[in-house]
Structure 1
Amino acid sequence: MSLDKILSISGKPGLYQIVTQTRTGAVVESLIDKKRLTVGAHSNISILSEIAIYTLTEEVPLREVLKKIKDKENGKPTSISHKDGKDTLEEYFFEVLPDYDEDRVYASDIKKVVQWYNLLQTNDLLGDLEEEPTEESDTSEEE
């Protein structure tokens, strides 16, 4: 399962994976409790593969950030909790992504990334991080 099939839905906790698309939206399944729900096209949905983190020089795709966390933690859950304090979260994120833009990346964003990483790790979905960049290199050859 690639990050193209994993969603964050505004106003709902955790992450969801797309089960099937419908005429008016999609049926999704929570990675937390495996409950399914229907989301309409009007819902504010973010696909993880389209999210990036601001650094001082560029925007780093979330996939790259998750890969760095995975390397730091050797594929295990994070050593901190998403419920830890602002300073702890920022210190941890600085170790993972030293040049992240502290003015545009808030503690709440770091909290989400840590929580998402742990959800993906718990559901054994981190293996897909290695596979996805090959799609991008394939398209650059065609140009």
Structure 2
Amino acid sequence: MLKTILSVSGKPGLYKLISSGKNMVIVESLVDSKKIPIHARDKVVSLGDISIYTNEAEAPLKDILVTIKQKENNAKASINTSAKPEELKKYFEEVLPNFDRDRVYPTDIKKIIGWYNILTNASIDFEKEDEVSEEEEEVISAE
């Protein structure tokens, strides 16, 4: 499911891929359900392609979101994204104890917690395996 959830640089929140057109894709905001076009010049990242640095390798974002969901009993995150950097790191240690403290910044942790809250509010099942059509895969890869 995370393959079709997109983060668009310069735009707040997360977006679900709806369809594609010539040199653009149509996405729907998970926050307010508004549909907007995203053009080829916009930087778009699929949440399914994001990993977090650990001391050994990289951990897929999906695994981290699932761990947060288990920690919070399917509820919103118990920490606010405006918490102090030390508090964010302490929270993230509980979620991913071996995260690379030199390469994972408090801003990254804020973003992950914010994304988790958006996905939870939108009732997105990010534990479900991704079922992306070939057309959607081409659109995501092209961005």
Q: Tell me the amino acid that sits aligned with residue 6 of structure 1.
A: I
Sequence identity percentage: 42
Instruction: Write out aligned runs for 1:5-24 (5 A).
Output: 5-24=4-23
Q: TM-score, normalised by structure 2?
A: 0.88
1:128 to partner: Cα distance? 3.5
- Aligned partner of 1:49 in structure 2 is 48
| 1:109 partner letter | D
User: For the residues of structure 1 that align with 2:111 and 2:82, how far apart are their CA atoms?
Assistant: 10
Asked if structure 1 preserves the Cα contact closer than 8 Å seen for 2:62 and 2:126, the reply is no
Looking at structure 2, the residues matched to 21 and 83 of structure 1 have their Cα atoms a distance apart, in angstroms, of 35
> 1:112 maps to which residue?
111
> One-letter code of the match for 2:129?
E
Q: Does 1:63 align with 2:62?
A: yes
| Matches of 1:120 and 1:37, distance apart in 2 | 19
CA deviations 1:69-123 (Å, max 9, x no partner) are 0110111101011121111111100100000001000000000000000000001
User: How do 1:64-79 residues align onto structure 2 when only pairs under 5 Å count?
Assistant: 64-79=63-78
Structure with bigger RCO (C-alpha 8 Å, 6+ apart):
2
Instruction: Mark the runs of 5 or more structure 1 residues left unpaired by the alignment.
Output: 134-143
SS at match of 2:88: helix
Q: Which runs of 5+ in 2 are unaligned?
A: 131-143
- Two-structure CA RMSD over aligned residues (Å): 1.6
Which aligned segments of 4 or more residues in structure 1 are displaced greater than 2 angstroms? none
